[in-house]
Structure 1
Amino acid sequence: MSTQTLSAQEVRSPKDEAAMKLAKELTDAGTKMFAAGDGAGLAAQYLEDAEIVEKTVESVGPPTVKFHRGGDAIRKVYENVKDLTKFNLTNDVHYARFVTPDTLVISGDLLMSENAETKRLPFMQVRRKTGDSWKIVCLELSLSR
């Protein structure tokens, strides 16, 4: 009798597949807005009381953490996105799961490319279904210098 180890991808349930499909659709929509310089559209993906947690890891010393809480702070984060359209963004979603029927957790890497250099920025999102849309409750993004 042989034993076989299955990867997480091989044992995904239909519910997990639906979560991955939705996560890819949502994150792809965000990267398209970024490419178009649509800061207002990016900010509109968030609940009014949402937050962005930005963790920066330096080569030495402890990481620094910035919190951007609430609609005004989040709109400010995205107000200059037009200046960043020189970067090519793609999302590599590693994990997505419905923790409740109206709450989706997504994690992966944001790949930010300029010329031949690509940075991999780990992210985690929690989204909540609000009406017909999935709004971001919290985004945690890890940056490294």
Structure 2
Amino acid sequence: AHRPSAGCCSANGRYRLTYKGQGSLTVQGNVRNVKRVGNDFWFDFTTGPEFAEVVIKRTDPHKTGDYIRDISVVKEENIPLFEAGALFNPAWIKLIQDQRLVRFMDWMYTNNSQISQWDDRPKVNDVTYTRVGVPVEIMVELANQIGADPWFT
């Protein structure tokens, strides 16, 4: 789901959702002009009080291990950068590129964290980063990209 953040960049625009695997999913909420082509969905999103959400209704229906995975949602104008390996929204990078220190306390979910072992940390291949935090590798990538010192708590 997406909730617009103040001051960054406009999330309004045309998006492509892609995924691998077999199953059924939908894009719903504050989206319009949804068009599906194979494992790609194209849709328009406009910020507002509603969410845009992806709902997996069924995965691996034939029990072959080909479950829905590698879901990406990318604004149309950023697709070439994403396909070239970019991790971050270029509009956001432009906004923060002059920062020399980036504190990652909230990204690390340090408040009330139950993680005490390195093996329990968030991993790059985790299905989401919203439950236990962002992997340190991603935080280092951001700090390196903008030339900032990372502050890990």
TM-score over 0.5 for the pair: no
Ranked by relative contact order (alpha carbons within 8 Å, sequence separation 6 or more), the top structure is 1
Structure (1/2) with the larger strand percentage: 1
TM-score by length of 2: 0.22
TM-score by length of 1: 0.23
Structure (1/2) with the larger helix percentage: 1
